[in-house]
Amino acid sequence: MIELGNNIINGLAVVIFLTTFIIVAHTRLYPWVSTYAIQSLALGLLATAVAYFTDSFHIYIVAALAIIIKSVIIPRFLRYTMDRIRVDKEVEMLVNVPASLLISGGLAILSYYITEPIIVQGNVITKNCLAISIAVVLIGFFIMITRRKAITQIMGLMVMENGLFLAAIATSYGMPLIVEIGIFFDILVGVLIMGVFAFQINRTFETVDTGILRRLRD
Amino acid sequence: MIIEALLAIPMIAAILVYLIKHRRAIELISTMGMAMVLAACAYLAWHVFSRGPVTGSFWYLDGLGAYVLLIIAFIGTAATIYSIGYLGREYEHHEIDLGRIRYYYLFFHVFIFTMLLVCVSSNLGIMWIAIEATTLASAFLVGFYNKDTSVEAAWKYIIICSVGITLALLGTILIYASSVNSLGESPDALSWPTLTEHAKNLDPTLLRIAFILVIIGYGTKVGFAPMHTWLPDAHSEAPTPISGLLSGVLLNVAMYGILRYHIILTDAIGPGYSGSLLILFGLLSLAAAAVFILLQKDYKRLLAYSSIEHMGIIAIGFGIGGPFGIFGALLHILNHAITKSLMFFGAGNILLKFKTKSINDVKGIATLMPLTAAFFMGGGLAITGSPPFGIFISELLILIAGFAEGNYPISIIYLLFLVIIFAGFMYHISRMAFGEPPADATKEEPNYIGLSVMAVLLMVALALGLYIPHMLSGILANIVKIFGGS
């Protein structure tokens, strides 16, 4: 039973890991959002599996919230924002795809290295996910730095948040329910507000390229 | 019960100011709301300092929380009264309409609510949610004017702070993991009173990693260099009363978040580890502030960099520790909040009059606006640490602490940066105060309501430099005990 649980959870973690790399490799915006939705779905299913195998009711609620908010509402809102500002469909990169993938691979190895002391002493069935979750956080951060559009920066932040969600599940089966709900609320409101600002950037600069944001400096 | 009431007041005020479509009524409700918040905070503080911590299912308010709460309420009240004059002038000059005023006060009160929530929550997770919510609520205030520069500032603010705070969430998750490992899964596993009590049982490796993540994450919001890049932009583009609030209050609220973890680490593995990280970021911030203050061309950015400087000083005070260091840092939080909001309010009057933020274009305020100039110069002397103002005392206490604890190199570098910043800052603001005013300018004070607020703040800053009331020193000594100091 535990063996099966481990396999399912590790399998879903691999899906999350791979989708992160696919996001790094995407050069078009709309498929990027779909991949993010798939990643979030895998995350929600992983949480469901954890809930089933540890028999804890509150994780079911968290899993349901993850699926609804991260794989339905946020992707829909991002598509809506992109339609409204008629963003052109290319992802603008400061680092090209092969180099980005190479760096992401390096970040993944780094995260295995830094999480090793934590994994050794853990005793939860999800402990293997921790390295993957840190890798997802780091790669999300890398996406934010190297992709220039406002929308892609929001997406990078969302990938980071997915990594954190996985980290919370991996280390301690998720945070207390009230905290998880609050975090979802913050993420949702945060994305809505960032969407509004992306729209304003588009209106005031007639582009969503954040490279244009260079007026304020010393 | 009183905590729930305290949290309800700004939310009710937020709803009311948005529903009512009459400017005077909005201003009245806003001021009344903040006055009630101040009264509730004063009551809570009295309760905490005379009878011990106030607790509830999600709440735990101890001396440190109550102290920050009082500062939020006091500066918040000052800012709301100042806003009446500031926005009123812009309204009369048709720069903003009534809709914008309602929008402003709506987010103002939501912002206050989120900051109060940070200080009263007992759960580190809820504290994280509240700190993230402060960013979300204030982002709209930073982007209030909808110009290209303010949209840019708001975007940088929300993105940089969200990323930073994501790291702090990772730190919170690690703390939770180490607490679940040793205390078992319970609703209390993230509450800081429980964590502080059982600090010795927590895993030190996880605590160390968690603290690094937290100090970088919340440190982004405090404005520690090198994560400070959002701060000058946000402070210079926000409406000036909001700049005062961001600088005087929000940065302290984020610092409060770091201090909670610092206290847990002090109880678990001693103050050395987290203390030296605080000193490191403090010195980096002082260095960055010194360079950018010398080269500054924009007076609101000048004040923003001065905030980075003072957050650095506070971090150094807590990092050095010992009774003097912590006492000095606590006192510095209060002094800085009062003096910096005074300075921003003065800058707001200058901005209303001159319509430019460039230091070179502002000349002769001493002739054109003598009262604003007097308060602004007084504030400038105070903020750079000249006697007889409060900041002089707290900076001196931190210096004494540095020597008393034997940290000679740190104390000397600290003193050196303070001298550089004093020279740079005074050079810039004296150029603004004196000199020949523009030929077409008329003598006029744009914001009399604001001036009365500034007068009160300057008096308090001066009073705190002349003597520290017995009550205040009692309160601070009480809080020093929370840090595990002698």
Closest Cα of chain A to B125: distance in Å?
Answer: 5
**What average pLDDT does this structure show over B182-204?**
84
A94 pLDDT band (50/70/90 cuts)?
Answer: confident
Chain A residues contacting B via beta carbons under 8 Å: 117-118, 121-123, 137, 141, 144, 150, 153, 157, 160-161, 164, 167-168, 171-173, 175-176, 178-179, 182-183, 185-186, 189-190, 193-194, 197, 200-201, 204-205, 210, 213, 215-216, 218
Assess if residue A73 is contained within a domain: yes
Domain boundaries, chain B: 2-482
Q: Residue B486: what pLDDT?
A: 38
Question: Dihedral of CA A91/A94/A98/A103: which sign?
Answer: negative
Residue B250, pLDDT above cutoff 60: yes
Residue of B nearest to A123 (CA): B181
**Cβ atoms B268, B207 nearer than 8 A:** yes
**Which residue pairs from B45-49 have beta carbons closer than 8 angstroms and sit at least 24 positions apart in sequence?**
B45/B69, B45/B70, B45/B475, B47/B2, B49/B474, B49/B475, B49/B478
User: Please, what is the average pLDDT of chain A?
Assistant: 86
Mutate one of A119, A164, A175 to test the B interface: name it (highest B CB count within 10 A).
A175
Q: Residue B199: what pLDDT?
A: 87
**What average pLDDT does this structure show over A142-170?**
89
Question: What is the per-residue DSSP string for B358-384?
Answer: BGGG---HHHH-HHHHHHHHHHHHHHT
In this structure, what token pair is assigned to residue B186? 């319970």
Q: Which residue has the higher pLDDT, B311 or B485?
A: B311
Q: Is the minimum CB–CB distance between B295 and chain A shorter than 8 Å?
A: yes
Q: Residue B447: what pLDDT?
A: 86
Closest Cα of chain A to B358: distance in Å?
Answer: 12
* Lowest-confidence segment of A135-139, A149-153, B235-239, B315-319 by average pLDDT: A149-153
Q: What is the pLDDT of residues B350-360, one digit of tens each?
A: 999 888 999 98
Assess if residue A177 is contained within a domain: yes
Mutate one of A116, A130, A172, A187 to test the B interface: name it (highest B CB count within 10 A).
A172
Chain A contact set for B181 (CB, 8 A):
121-123
Assess if residue A218 is contained within a domain: no
In this structure, what token pair is assigned to residue A77? 């809102």
Q: Is the minimum CB–CB distance between B303 and chain A shorter than 8 Å?
A: no
Q: What is the dihedral of CA B124, B125, B126, B130, to 10 degrees?
A: 90
Give the span between the Cα atoms of B222 and B251, in whole angstroms: 5
Chain B contact set for A178 (CB, 8 A):
58, 123, 125-126
Question: Residue B416: which of B257, B234, B291, B266 has the closest Cα?
Answer: B291
Chain B, residues 126-145, CB within 8 A of chain A, namely 126, 128-129, 132-133, 136, 139-140, 143
**What average pLDDT does this structure show over A154-168?**
92
Give the span between the Cα atoms of B428 and B359, in whole angstroms: 7
B155, B190, B209 member nearest A213 (Cβ): B155
In this structure, what token pair is assigned to residue B160? 């940089």
In this structure, what token pair is assigned to residue A160? 């980071």
Give the span between the Cα atoms of B284 and B225, in whole angstroms: 6
Assess if residue A217 is contained within a domain: no
**pTM (predicted TM-score):** 0.94
Q: Residue B485: what pLDDT?
A: 47
Chain B, residues 414-453, CB within 8 A of chain A, namely none
Q: Which residue has the higher pLDDT, A55 or A60?
A: A60
Q: Which residue has the higher pLDDT, A94 or B87?
A: B87
B154, B173, B295 member nearest A175 (Cβ): B173
- Domain containing A63 equals 2-212
CB contact under 8 A, B125 and A164: no
Closest Cα of chain B to A155: distance in Å?
Answer: 11
Number of structural domains (chain A) is 1
Assess if residue A61 is contained within a domain: yes
Q: What is the dihedral of CA B285, B219, B247, A187, to 10 degrees?
A: 150
Mutate one of B58, B127, B129, B295 to test the A interface: name it (highest A CB count within 10 A).
B129
Question: Residue B120: which of B76, B67, B60 has the closest Cα?
Answer: B60
Assess if residue A68 is contained within a domain: yes
Residue of A nearest to B187 (CA): A176
Assess if residue A136 is contained within a domain: yes
In this structure, what token pair is assigned to residue B262? 């610092």
